[in-house]
Structure 1
Amino acid sequence: MVHTPTSPPQKLSKLEGIKENSNFLREPLATEILEETTHFTENAVQILKFHGSYQQDNRDNRVKGQEKDYQMMLRTRNPGGFIPPQLYLTLDRLSDEYGNQTLRVTTRQGFQLHGILKKNLKSAIAAIVNSMGSTLGACGDLNRNVMAPPAPFKNRPEYQYAWKYADNIADLLTPQTEAYYEIWLDGEKFLSAEESPEVVAARQRNSNKTLFPNKEEPIYGVHYMPRKFKCSVTVPGDNSIDVYTHDVSLVVITDEHGQLQGFNILAGGGMGRTHGKEETFARLSDPLGYVAKEDVYDAMKAIVATQRDYGDRVQRRHARMKYLLHDWGVEKFRAKVEEYFGKPLEPFKPLPEWKYQDYLGWNEQGDGKLFLGISVENGRVKDEGSFRLKTALKSIIDQFELPMRLTANHNIILYEIEPSQKAAIEGILHDCGIITNPQEVESLTRYSMACPALPTCGLAITESERALPGIIGRIKQVLTKVGLEDEEIVIRMTGCPNGCARPYMAELGFVGSAPNSYQIWLGGSPNQTNLAQPYTDKLPDKDIEKFLEPLFAYFKQEKASKESFGQFCHRVGFEALRAFSEGYQPIKVRRIRKNQHRVSVPDEMFTRLKEASEGEKRPMNHIVQEALEAYFSQKQSN
């Protein structure tokens, strides 16, 4: 019996009924996948999410009176961002055969395939599972992909523990229904890896009513979770995974010899919110306590059971665990967790300050091998012009059979690289236009993130991934104008307030609020340790430079030593920012009159010049300038 925190009981949301009547995630999906239609019904779409896919349509192709351009987005579930070489090559092939010829690294360390037609979905999922991958639980009201630092340090045991327990927590909370294998693999259960015996035992141990005994879903029951549930495992000081933004974060605690002792637990983080609904908000997680390593699985089950049984199943906007902690308070929440756990949690252990790291460039693994972090702008793996990351990665994985780890900032880490392979890998990347030196990556781009938004996401209010590169270029111009051309700022953008790129932790966050308009958030920190706050609700895209110039000018004038833009905004406060902006006089840039000097050329020469310009696709004045520079250079040498 699922309890709710409301009394007397209220009518559950429609989706709770769909889950209950699905026969553990089977129907109506199992029936509709066999039908020769272009899309699923709404009820099937809700169950499809649990299997790792969202039904979308390409909004660029919408035509009034015609059926939508339906397509499926498929998302992988790979704890700690681990992608074995055979899985990557399969995803690369599927993106070409069935998708839109690109792959998208997500901000939860997974891959997304976009553009898959309904008729090809079963073949795509089967191929992924048979290549040591999975999509089960990548979406839906259950535990999502478990995150962990992507750095493959072999000489730092705490990093290896983080990977191990990310895998184990993912296994513990994986749906046990056979529906996934029945629908996509015709009942053949393909095990990509053997589960740890301690995980199997923990899943079967019904301590203090954390389980539904003898049920197909012993942890989740027929209703699964009230909303999505997100976990991470990290090491002290490493905030490469936005530690405060998850429902549960475990922090590895070792002794002076590097032996695992237990885990600190943080709980109650989450980014999603809704414009105009003040009862929805982004929230940072709270320290909950410490648990010894042998008790970590029971502690996780206790937290899951608390949210499962007391999370709001009436209002989905209020259903994430962060609202339960907010409404109850940390003490009441901890007491209920301890009731399921069967004993008190120990006090939270002291931790060093958190620091964001992206691990770009060449690094030592600690065992004689190397790893390489590659910056992927907005996470999109594609071939476009001289930038051919998709070609480069396929060539490298094909030739060297390297595993990869995806990062929470949608970058890619290749590892297990022999030093003798470095030159060849560098050569492939260089030939494909890929930068391997992080110092050569534009800093605003390096620390930025965007969600996919338009045209595929049905929730998008405005552009994000397609807009951010151009907006970053404009921001760079404003920074240069005020004398801050070398400034590093964490910029994040989403096309709606759901916060998939975690804009509420950014120093400068853009959140879609209307077509071509953004709500602006200011005051996050470079290490993602405090929430930004909303500064203005609806900034038109065309006014970005006008809006930012006074803020950057004030920052340059009054910033403290080594203070970042986000820290500055947090310190001086929004009232001071607005007061300075109101009295600000824009910097005047002297404009050079166009065509200030004219030179005439014969008609025949002009015709030839025009033909060259059209053939080379560059302005005529560029060709003239090049010719004159060559002339004067030759004159000078003579």
Structure 2
Amino acid sequence: MSKTTLPDGLAVNEYLKDNSNYLRGTIEESLADQTTGAVADDDTQLTKFHGFYMQDDRDIREERRKQKLEPKHSFMLRARVPGGVSTMEQWLAIDKIADDLTDYGSLRLTTRQTFQYHGILKPNIKPLIQGICKVGLDSIAACGDVNRNVMCNTNPVDSRLHQETYEWSAKISEHLLPKTRAYYEIWLDEEKVADSEADQEPVYGKWYLPRKFKIAVAVPPHNDVDISANDLSFIAIADADGNLEGFNVAVGGGMGSTHGDVETYPQLARILGFIKKEDTLAFAEAVMLVQRDFGNRINRKNARTKYTVDTLGVDKFREETEKRTGIKFEDERPFEFTQQGDRFGWIKGIDNNWHLTLFLEAGRIIDKPGQPIKTGLREIAKVHKGEYRMTANQNIIIANVAEEDKAEIEGMCRKYGLLGEVLSPLMLDSIACVALPTCALAMAESERYLPRLIEKFDVIAEKHGIADQPMVIRMTGCPNGCGRPFLAEIAFVGKGPGKYNMYLGADGRGTRLNQMYKENVGEEEILSTIDSLFEQYSKERESGEGFGDFVVRKGFVNAVYDGREFHA
């Protein structure tokens, strides 16, 4: 590691960023090394800023070790798609790239309202990035210690308000992009900057942020982007005529924690106040700068904005934000969230176009026996005149379908198994992270297991007469929180092979955390517990009472509105 002016005792990543020459590192040398399918250790951290992670297939890791082979290294790349909107030209390119340049030939929609590829071999990374860039997409800052993909309500243009908030999400994303030309030099063969001093980061600085930074834009009453899981959120406020007036600004949300470490916890975003819409970019930058300047650069486990807010206090964080904008927050405007899931089926917009939301199990887009999902979305993209909108709950919307094209689109959806199967409310409101076999952090299954577990829950719900009751159910393979488990009415967080911590008590609106109910349980105990809880819920619930509210009212768990009271 070269000489640095940074003080001793910081997290290792701080020195990596300092010595990276604005995120270049030795990535080009790693790509050229044909003796391994991996990249150099330091570069595995820097490539995240370029949108991809190194992984290996854990299903065959031990077999390869016995054969004295290195792990089967491959890469996961996540795209930057503000608001989750893809044109049909882009989708057809995305689809072809999956076939041509990945081992799995599939796509996966993420809980950050974008798509990612798995199983990319090292020689295919550069052509893949060039492929998505040719259709106006990229993977800049999709990962790493920077602002990541900006999410927005996926209500598909059914009001002027939603369209304008989507446009703000795109503006925020562009405004907070890193300015280094490293991405363009390495992947798009742009001429290299001769003087690195001319390549400085005017907003991020040489050391970027202490940790990742996530932003969401929401339009009440729908909280499908889970504003409380984000470092910074903008909650749209309309005037009397339904036009966007400005935003309530919320800071310090986040889901990640570590099993058994009381110094880590999920947290709900806190509202700083109201801003006018013309000040949105100034406040987005200012909040990020407060986190840049005050965030913990010693312990990465405590480096997210939520801990900065808790350490400084909300009032001090607000003051520092105002100092950087020169503008005072106004008082918070009233709003209410009523649900956090997607709305499935056809919705008609104010422009008389139609929008069809389709459920995708765990967000995986792949052809299955009797359900060629990937083929279906490709064939629809060839004739559809609108766009696809990816949701923050791993689903997809066929947006802006003209009245005269509605029957054709619906017929194609049925032909390819995208529509027609009756799914339970439990399945429709579920989220699972990738977990095994590719995620290095996974302690237990998630994507491959949750749908099968929910099928067993459906049998229990039917037995107790509550099969039509929606419940938000989420599963993750570890406590890092990629699937936002701590905002679910029922959640399972991987603890070890086949074992999960079980959480109950969020409110189905994304405004309350859940709490651990049982620790380190396997399927047999999970099913018996669900059977007992569903029986009591069916007999003792009040009119209109959701499951999360019921378990809190009955004292199974406490209501948690501050992550410092959360017990992992």
Q: Gapped runs of 5+ residues in structure 2?
A: 1-5, 560-568
Instruction: Please point out which of 239, 245, 248 is paired with 1:264.
Output: 248
Shift of 1:151: 1.9
Instruction: Please point out which of 161, 170, 175 is paired with 1:172.
Output: 175
Shift of 1:341: 2.0
1:54 is matched with which residue? Answer: 53
Shift of 1:436: 5.3
Asked if the contact 2:424/2:467 (under 8 Å) is kept, the reply is: no
Q: 1:258 to 1:544 in 2, by over 3 A?
A: closer
Say yes or no: does 1:574 pair with 2:556: yes
SS at match of 2:502: strand
Q: 1:289 to 1:490 in 2, by over 3 A?
A: same
Q: Distance in 2 between matches of 1:29 and 1:313?
A: 24
Say yes or no: does 1:490 pair with 2:472: yes
Say yes or no: does 1:518 pair with 2:500: yes
Q: Distance in 2 between matches of 1:271 and 1:288?
A: 20
Say yes or no: does 1:226 pair with 2:210: yes
Q: 1:576 to 1:310 in 2, by over 3 A?
A: closer
Q: Distance in 1 between matches of 2:167 and 2:358?
A: 24
Shift of 1:395: 0.4
Asked if the contact 2:11/2:299 (under 8 Å) is kept, the reply is: yes
Shift of 1:412: 0.3
Q: 1:69 to 1:560 in 2, by over 3 A?
A: same
Say yes or no: does 1:479 pair with 2:483: no
2:342 is matched with which residue? Answer: 358
Q: 1:407 to 1:13 in 2, by over 3 A?
A: same
Q: Distance in 2 between matches of 1:436 and 1:158?
A: 31
Q: Distance in 1 between matches of 2:338 and 2:547?
A: 18
Q: 1:10 to 1:326 in 2, by over 3 A?
A: farther
Greater mean deviation of Cα atoms: 53-62 or 311-320: 53-62
1:28 is matched with which residue? Answer: 26
2:72 is matched with which residue? Answer: 69
1:536-588 Cα offsets, whole Å, 9 max, x none, are 121112322122222222222221111111111111112799xxxxxxxxxxx
Under a length normalisation based on structure 2, what TM-score does the superposition of the two structures give? 0.92
Asked if the contact 1:161/1:252 (under 8 Å) is kept, the reply is: no
1:292 is matched with which residue? Answer: 276
> Which amino acid in the other structure matches residue 244 of structure 2?
L
Q: 1:260 to 1:214 in 2, by over 3 A?
A: farther
SS at match of 2:151: coil
Q: Distance in 2 between matches of 1:117 and 1:515?
A: 28
Asked if the contact 1:271/1:500 (under 8 Å) is kept, the reply is: yes
Residues 321-340 of structure 1 aligned to structure 2 (within 5 Å): 321-340=305-324
SS at match of 1:344: coil
Shift of 1:215: 5.8
Asked if the contact 2:220/2:235 (under 8 Å) is kept, the reply is: yes
2:564 is matched with which residue? Answer: none
Say yes or no: does 1:396 pair with 2:380: yes
2:405 is matched with which residue? Answer: 421
Say yes or no: does 1:442 pair with 2:424: yes
Shift of 1:374: 0.7
Instruction: Please point out which of 159, 178, 182 is paired with 2:185.
Output: 182
Q: Distance in 2 between matches of 1:21 and 1:95?
A: 34
Q: Distance in 2 between matches of 1:545 and 1:24?
A: 51
Residues 78-227 of structure 1 aligned to structure 2 (within 5 Å): 78-99=81-102, 100-153=104-157, 156-187=159-190, 216-227=200-211
1:511-555 Cα offsets, whole Å, 9 max, x none, are 001110000010012222211111112111232212222222222
Q: 1:431 to 1:498 in 2, by over 3 A?
A: same
Give the share of equivalent positions with the same residue, in percent.
40
Q: Distance in 2 between matches of 1:277 and 1:473?
A: 33
1:395-426 Cα offsets, whole Å, 9 max, x none, are 01012353111001110011121222122222
Shift of 1:107: 0.5
2:563 is matched with which residue? Answer: none
Shift of 1:152: 2.2
Asked if the contact 2:341/2:393 (under 8 Å) is kept, the reply is: no
> Which amino acid in the other structure matches residue 110 of structure 2?
T
Asked if the contact 1:253/1:263 (under 8 Å) is kept, the reply is: yes
2:15 is matched with which residue? Answer: 17
Instruction: Please point out which of 230, 234, 239 is paired with 1:246.
Output: 230
Q: Gapped runs of 5+ residues in structure 1?
A: 1-7, 190-212, 578-638
Q: Distance in 1 between matches of 2:69 and 2:375?
A: 36
User: How many residues end up aligned between the 2 structures?
Assistant: 544
Asked if the contact 1:84/1:132 (under 8 Å) is kept, the reply is: no
> Which amino acid in the other structure matches residue 32 of structure 1?
S
Choose 1 or 2 for highest CA Rg.
1
Asked if the contact 2:445/2:498 (under 8 Å) is kept, the reply is: yes
1:296-324 Cα offsets, whole Å, 9 max, x none, are 22212211111001100000000000001
Q: 1:420 to 1:493 in 2, by over 3 A?
A: same
Q: Distance in 2 between matches of 1:319 and 1:498?
A: 13
Q: Distance in 2 between matches of 1:492 and 1:188?
A: 46
Q: Distance in 2 between matches of 1:260 and 1:475?
A: 42
Query: RCO greater where, 1 or 2, for CA within 8 Å and sep 6 or more?
Result: 2
2:562 is matched with which residue? Answer: none
RMSD over aligned Cα atoms: 1.9
